[in-house]
Amino acid sequence: MANYQEAFRYVFEENFKYNQDTNYQTVRLDSLYSQGFNDKEIQVLLKQIYGVELWRQFKGERIKNQKTAELLLLLNANGLLAMMLLEMQKYYGISPSSQMCEQTLHRINQIPADKLHDWIIAGINYFSLVGNMQKEHVLHQ
């Protein structure tokens, strides 16, 4: 089963900014810095509160493959997990809920890891592109 500490390091300890597999910005920390938090305090908040909650939302401790859990944590840290789960549920004929239900968890643990990782990384890139396009559209109106 996946390990939270390893997943946390993968997502949040790359200078808090970019993940090497996707080059996707993980967390915006400007608001915490502007409120006077230092790096050490932010690290504690991320690891002991924020990261744990994100991990719990997709049942990370029940994911069989470590890299899969890391990518799901990355998705969730970027606010993309619900969209990705919904797409997976539609694709596999699972009742769509955008939540990590037992059927979705079972399917994630059955999909060959390399194919699932490619799918998750493609989803991160796709959803971030769509989000950026939507932001640009709003700015140009």
Q: How confident is the model at residue 93 (pLDDT cuts 50, 70, 90)?
A: very high
N residues, the chain: 141
Tokens of 91: 């694709």
Q: How confident is the model at residue 2 (pLDDT cuts 50, 70, 90)?
A: very high
Q: How many Å apart are CA 61 and CA 37, to the nearest integer?
A: 30
Q: How many Å apart are CA 138 and CA 115, to the nearest integer?
A: 35
| Per-residue pLDDT at 18 exceeds 50 | no
pLDDT at 14: 58
pLDDT tens-digit series, residues 103-133: 999 999 999 999 999 999 998 888 878 876 7
Domains of the chain, by residue range, sit at: 4-139
Q: How confident is the model at residue 137 (pLDDT cuts 50, 70, 90)?
A: low
Hey, what long-range contacts does 13-17 have (CB within 8 A, 24 or more apart)? 16/42, 16/46
- The CATH number of the domain covering residues in 4-139: 1.20.141
Q: How many Å apart are CA 56 and CA 78, to the nearest integer?
A: 15
Number of alpha helices (DSSP H) and beta strands (DSSP E) in the chain:
8, 0
Distances 59 to 14, 51, 77, 108 between C-alpha atoms, Å: 23, 12, 14, 11
pLDDT at 68: 97
pLDDT tens-digit series, residues 36-90: 998 889 888 888 999 999 999 999 999 999 999 999 998 898 888 999 999 999 9
